[in-house]
Amino acid sequence: MIRRSMASVCFILAVLLFSGVSAGQAQAAVTQEYNWKLVSEEVDGDFMTDWAHEFAKQMKEWSDGKINIEVYPYGTLGGERDINELVQLGEVEFVMSDYGWISAFVPQAQVLALHYILPREKSVEVFNDVFNNGKVRGLLEKSFQAKNFQPLGYLHEGWQWVTHNKKIRTPEDCKGVKIRVMGSPMLQKGYGAFGFNAITLDYGEIYSALQMNLIDAQVQPMFANYSMGFYEQVKFITNMEAELFVAIPLANREFMESLPKDIRDKILEVWAGITKPAGEDSLKREEKFIKLVKEKRPEIEFYKFTDEDIKPFHELAIPVREEYLKSGGEGAKEILDALLADIEAAKKKHGVK
């Protein structure tokens, strides 16, 4: 209970800002009652589930109580692959997914798993600009729609932090370290290029795998390292600044197309409005949970890669882009080229070198 309440502090502040934006919006003349399910990849109190509840709240208020969305936290309807499949098949209307697990269904989404693509500076501003205004969004949407998913937005969920028991500063340090990553071939290749032995496990299996030394390391946003207790089993927590965690709210495409236009438009409008406060929330959570972990286990050594640390890892990450072109499915080159161009345009716009 303590972890959950602490996890919600930053979220509540972000929601207050968001509510200010949404206040005063006209209610819809929804003529029938809708009861939908939204399943999250994270537990109660964590980023995805909190923002899923905010989406449900906004839709209920707008529809004068006629649209009811029940949010199911991680583990209630299955593992990561299971819940994405439920939405693809139309048995559940919505899922809070990510670029890792959804790549088993939409290989093009692996472009978001490439390392050292997005800048460290002004990451929220650049990310939001790319995925609100860039060409890559429309290209990815077509890939998702072809597999019966409708993406509703892309949310900056913070940097991925590696929890581990061996100091990591160079690629040499990574050799032989067995690290758990999400179910994406691109993530396995990416971390493998650094020297890690990258394997995939379901989210719910990570803690026991660390505890029994079946894995040496794993990578998550800081709030998850805290809420799932991963920090309890390690000596070091390191931000390689290689990878942003990206949440992707998705709907079943056929379900979305069956809805009246005003409801479809409102769903997209709500997620568009969530983008900015959610990104700001992700950074506040990161700061808060670093502090909480330090209070719980002051002996843990935190480290953030410097420019010099990053150089050899960045060089190793570049060739992995060729692997994406091989395994990223139809249109992979166009998607990668668009993403890189969108990022450069957004960096220039926001004054990032």
Distance CA 268, CA 249 (A): 10
Torsion of CA 282, 284, 285, 287, to 10 degrees: 130
Distance CA 234, CA 271 (A): 36
Ranges in the chain annotated CATH 3.40.190.170: 2-158+245-284, 161-243+287-327
Give which of 134, 63, 195 is closest to 334, Cα–Cα. 134
Q: Are 90 and 254 contacting, i.e. CB atoms less than 8 angstroms apart?
A: yes
Distance CA 112, CA 97 (A): 13
pLDDT score, position 27: 61
Distance CA 69, CA 86 (A): 16
CATH number assigned to the domain with residue range 2-158+245-284, chosen from the 4 options 3.40.190.170, 3.40.50.720, 3.40.50.300, 3.40.50.2000: 3.40.190.170
- Mark out the alpha helices in the chain (DSSP H runs): 2-22, 47-62, 80-88, 123-133, 135-146, 171-174, 185-194, 206-211, 222-227, 253-258, 261-296, 307-317, 320-327, 332-349
Q: Are 156 and 81 contacting, i.e. CB atoms less than 8 angstroms apart?
A: no
Give which of 246, 274, 254 is closest to 56, Cα–Cα. 274
- Paired tokens of 173: 């340090």
Distance CA 297, CA 294 (A): 5
Place of tokens 């209920």: 60
- Mark out the alpha helices in 231-331 (DSSP H runs): 253-258, 261-296, 307-317, 320-327
Place of tokens 């048995």: 91
**Secondary structure (3-state) at 86:** helix
CATH of domain 161-243+287-327: 3.40.190.170
Torsion of CA 87, 90, 91, 94, to 10 degrees: 40
Distance CA 307, CA 122 (A): 16
Q: What is the pLDDT along the chain (353 residues), one digit of tens a residue?
A: 334 444 554 555 555 555 544 444 556 678 899 999 999 999 999 999 999 999 999 999 999 999 999 999 999 999 989 999 999 999 999 999 999 999 999 999 999 999 999 999 999 999 999 999 999 999 999 999 999 999 999 999 999 999 999 999 999 999 999 999 998 899 999 999 999 999 999 999 999 999 999 999 999 999 999 999 999 999 999 999 999 999 999 999 999 999 999 999 999 999 999 999 999 999 999 999 999 999 999 999 999 999 999 999 999 999 999 999 999 999 999 999 999 999 999 999 999 98
